[in-house]
């Protein structure tokens, strides 16, 4: 029999292995007391420990994250659909995004008309979703786009019983106030990555500019949806930094995206994130934010597959985007809805979100 070079040997090997395992699981014992029992999220340093857990500790980490979710968020799962009113032609240089007009990507500028938006909202509501998010690939909305958003919101509200969210880039205070007055339930503006890594993936605006919009949205009384995109080449330390920075922002919801490298973008050759690393990140983000809606978003199909998607739902995730994303294909809505049924996870009812 061949013994790995790093394996303990000799009469004390069993005790040495036990000491190592106790050290590995110590962070989970801390999290059980601090997060599950007391409802206090892990610190950045503690999150680094979770992200470094070996594969054999991953099931225990996911189970703990699931228990945290059940205790502090309940068993309901929130379902959302998204649609892009304006696709492509964005002036920003987010290195992961095929909608940038600065890159030679296959995505071209397209506008949806209002009847198409209403149709998409109806289809989303038919899946049982409680949230419909209107997205535009812009630095921030101009007067024309704001007028279209107002008209779209009015039409959707006339015909569909669903909450409306928006993701329109960076806002002015006046635009924040307008969206609030028009009945926008939630606003999405992602941090994407850690402050220390942000200049590596975006150069046309700053991290602080993103934070300013997030602060205005919260101050106006709208729910803030502020997400992460992981697997862009950031370090584990920066992944923990991002989770801690999001926790400090206290958003209502955090969508977790996993990089799906897009042709023509600066990150087109970035490798796909390892599925187990993605699951470690899911557990870590839940242990950082015990009461936050943690939503499956883009890239999970490629990074996790069907089995990993199930593991994440049993490891801290309590919301999903169903159907396709902005420029990439997702799982069929029925696949996610059937999985929720199989796991006995009830879909949150609309009236409970109002």
d(CA 323, CA 330): 5
Tell whether 127 is covered by a domain.
Answer: yes
d(CA 13, CA 25): 18
**214: which residues sit within 8 A by CB, 6+ positions away?**
189, 191, 224, 226, 249, 251
pLDDT digit string, tens, across residues 100-141: 655 565 544 557 788 988 998 998 898 888 889 999 988 999
Tell whether 67 is covered by a domain.
Answer: no
pLDDT on residue 11: 44
pLDDT on residue 86: 72
Find out whether 73 is annotated in a ligand binding site. no
**231: which residues sit within 8 A by CB, 6+ positions away?**
258, 259, 270, 272, 273, 277, 278, 299, 303
pLDDT on residue 28: 98
Q: Which residues pair with 81 in a beta bridge?
A: 132
Find out whether 214 is annotated in a ligand binding site. no
Tell whether 192 is covered by a domain.
Answer: yes
Of 196, 327, 197, 333, nearest to 260 by C-alpha is 327
**Reported confidence tier of residue 324, pLDDT bands at 50, 70, 90:** very low
HSE-CB at 225 with a 13 A cutoff on CA atoms is 27
Find out whether 166 is annotated in a ligand binding site. no
d(CA 285, CA 240): 8
Residue 102: give its domain's CATH number: 3.20.20.70
Is the pLDDT assigned to residue 161 strictly greater than 70? yes
Query: CB atoms < 10 A from the CB of 306, how many?
Result: 11
Tell whether 229 is covered by a domain.
Answer: yes
Tell whether 104 is covered by a domain.
Answer: yes
Is the pLDDT assigned to residue 203 strictly greater than 60? yes
Tell whether 115 is covered by a domain.
Answer: yes
**Reported confidence tier of residue 78, pLDDT bands at 50, 70, 90:** very high
Q: Which residues pair with 180 in a beta bridge?
A: none
Q: If you average pLDDT over every residue of the chain, what do you get?
A: 87
- Which residue range is the domain that position 166 belongs to? 73-353
Is the pLDDT assigned to residue 209 strictly greater than 90? yes
* Global pTM value: 0.87
Tell whether 17 is covered by a domain.
Answer: no
d(CA 25, CA 90): 45
Tell whether 51 is covered by a domain.
Answer: no
Find out whether 226 is annotated in a ligand binding site. no
Please count the structural domains in the chain: 1
Of 65, 107, 99, nearest to 284 by C-alpha is 65
């Amino acid at each position: 029999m061949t013994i790995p070079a790093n394996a303990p040997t000799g009469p004390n090997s069993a005790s040495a292995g036990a000491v190592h395992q106790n050290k590995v699981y110590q962070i989970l014992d801390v999290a059980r007391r601090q997060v599950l029992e007391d409802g206090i999220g892990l610190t950045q340093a503690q999150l680094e420990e979770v992200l470094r857990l070996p594969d054999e500790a991953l099931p225990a980490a996911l189970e703990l994250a699931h228990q945290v979710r059940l205790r502090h968020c309940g068993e309901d799962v929130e379902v959302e659909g998204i649609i892009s009113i304006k696709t492509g032609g964005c002036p920003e240089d987010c290195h992961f995004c095929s909608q940038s007009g600065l890159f030679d990507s296959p995505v071209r500028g397209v506008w949806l008309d209002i009847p198409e938006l209403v149709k998409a909202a109806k289809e989303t509501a038919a899946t049982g979703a409680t949230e419909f998010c209107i997205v535009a690939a812009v630095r921030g909305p101009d007067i024309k786009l704001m007028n279209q958003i107002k008209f779209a919101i009015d039409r959707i509200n006339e015909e569909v019983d669903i909450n409306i969210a928006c993701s329109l880039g960076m806002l002015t205070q006046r635009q924040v106030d307008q969206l609030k007055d028009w009945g926008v339930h939630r606003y999405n503006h992602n941090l994407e990555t850690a402050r220390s890594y942000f200049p590596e993936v975006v150069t046309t605006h700053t991290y602080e500019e993103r934070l300013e919009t997030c602060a205005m949205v919260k101050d106006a009384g709208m729910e803030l949806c502020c997400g992460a995109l992981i697997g862009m080449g950031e370090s584990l330390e920066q992944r923990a930094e991002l989770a801690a920075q999001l926790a400090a922002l206290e958003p209502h919801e955090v969508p977790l995206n996993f990089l799906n490298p897009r042709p023509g973008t600066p990150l087109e050759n970035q490798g796909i994130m390892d599925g187990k690393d993605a699951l470690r990140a899911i557990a870590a983000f839940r242990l950082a934010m015990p009461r936050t809606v943690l939503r499956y978003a883009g890239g999970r199909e490629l990074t996790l597959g069907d089995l990993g998607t199930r593991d994440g739902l049993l490891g801290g995730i309590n919301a999903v985007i169903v159907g396709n994303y902005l420029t990439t294909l997702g799982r069929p809505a029925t696949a996610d809805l059937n999985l929720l049924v199989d796991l006995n996870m009830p879909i949150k009812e609309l009236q409970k979100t109002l």
